[in-house]
Amino acid sequence: MLLLLQQFPSLPSSGAASFPPPFQNVQSAFLCLRDCKRPPLPVLSAFSSGPKNWCDWNEDNANSSPFDLPAYKWRLVIAYDGTRFSGWQYQRSTPTIQCYLEEALTKITKLERENLHLVGAGRTDAGVHAWGQVAHFITPFNLANLDDVHKALNGLLPSDIRIREIGAAIPEFHARFSVTSKIYHYKIYCDAIMDPFQRHYAFPSVYKLNPDTMRDAAKHFVGRHDFTAFANGSRNDRVPDPVKIIFRFDVIEMGHLLQLEVEGTGFLYRQVRNMVALLLQVGMEAVPSDIVPMILASRDRKELAKFALSVPPQGLCLVAIKYKPEHLHPPADAPTSSFGRHRSIGRCKLPCF
């Protein structure tokens, strides 16, 4: 209320609990302040006292804030089968994960998608899956019962998208900028006949692969390197930093499946799939394992193209995202996080004869 009177001094000060006309509720006041051209006031974190300039309304600038009301930030952990989707990023013409998620959130919160400011940790490509995608969104009001919101979200979303967790986040948390590392898995099915139940989740290789030589080659990726040679052209106007740190790159045998697990501070566009493509050539013994440092040193995408083409998306899965521990602490007085709840059958209260 105080914020409204500061922005609009002509409003009457009487009436303690409700917004005066035309502000019938928090949402209408929120929309009015969005269009206000006056200099912004500090944004107040509704979970803590004192002013904080924290609302990242623009995902490229975590400090920008076009309107000023106490706001609540919420963190989502999302799993999805990416087979029929055109990736994570919102698009008008094709179905994406962000499209469906924003549609469900707008129905529950009654906010426009632009006011939710949903931000994902990673922009997975078409056909890529996720078990641990993370996103955050913002509301100008509290979501008191997160179990009910969780149930409603999964009820509105298609069955190949599930919200695994929803919880309150502190102002400093950001789905992209608070990340310390991401873990991707890529599955390769190594057999003469492809398992039809794996066709959407693994890349079929009719060639026998040598896991030992693949492990030797994968070791060359570990550490701090310039991965320009393993990146396709960027999909946006940003100039990404090509220097990334790979913490581990494991090759694990699981029967007919070969699972490649890579963890790093971040990845360039198609970097993981391009690294896997080269390891496939090494596993087929078409190229030696020491070719990796040579291509890294070239910093030229054309150099990689001489030896390997990118692998398809269906074998790739974003498994987990790690964050700064201090950014995962729940805010004071926040509602309990929801991890889903089981149904139970109540006992019959009728007397038995």
- The tens digit of pLDDT for each residue in 36-61 reads 333 332 334 455 443 333 344 444 44
Q: Is residue 233 part of a domain?
A: yes
Residue 248: domain span = 179-320
Q: Do 284 and 202 sit in the same domain of this protein?
A: yes
Q: Do 37 and 167 sit in the same domain of this protein?
A: yes
The whole-model pTM stands at: 0.80
269-320 pLDDT per residue, tens: 999 999 999 999 999 999 999 999 999 999 999 999 999 998 999 999 999 9
Q: Do 166 and 227 sit in the same domain of this protein?
A: no
Q: Do 237 and 270 sit in the same domain of this protein?
A: yes
CATH number at residue 220: 3.30.70.660
Q: Is residue 246 part of a domain?
A: yes
Q: Is residue 204 part of a domain?
A: yes
Checking if the pLDDT of 212 tops 80, the result is yes
Length of the chain: 353
The domain tally of the chain equals: 2
Q: Is residue 188 part of a domain?
A: yes
15 — phi, psi (to 5°)?
90, 110
What pLDDT was estimated at residue 238?
A: 54
Checking if the pLDDT of 125 tops 60, the result is yes
Mean pLDDT, the chain, rounded, equals: 82
Please report which confidence band the pLDDT of residue 14 belongs to, taking 50, 70 and 90 as the band edges: very low
Q: 255-293: b or e for each residue (b if 16 or more CB lie within 10 Å)? A: ebbbbbbbbbbbbbbbbbbbbbbbbbbbbeeebebebbe
Q: Is residue 303 part of a domain?
A: yes
Q: Is residue 118 part of a domain?
A: yes
What pLDDT was estimated at residue 69?
A: 54
Checking if the pLDDT of 104 tops 90, the result is yes
Active site residues: 125
Q: Is residue 21 part of a domain?
A: no
% the chain with pLDDT above 90: 69
What pLDDT was estimated at residue 93?
A: 82
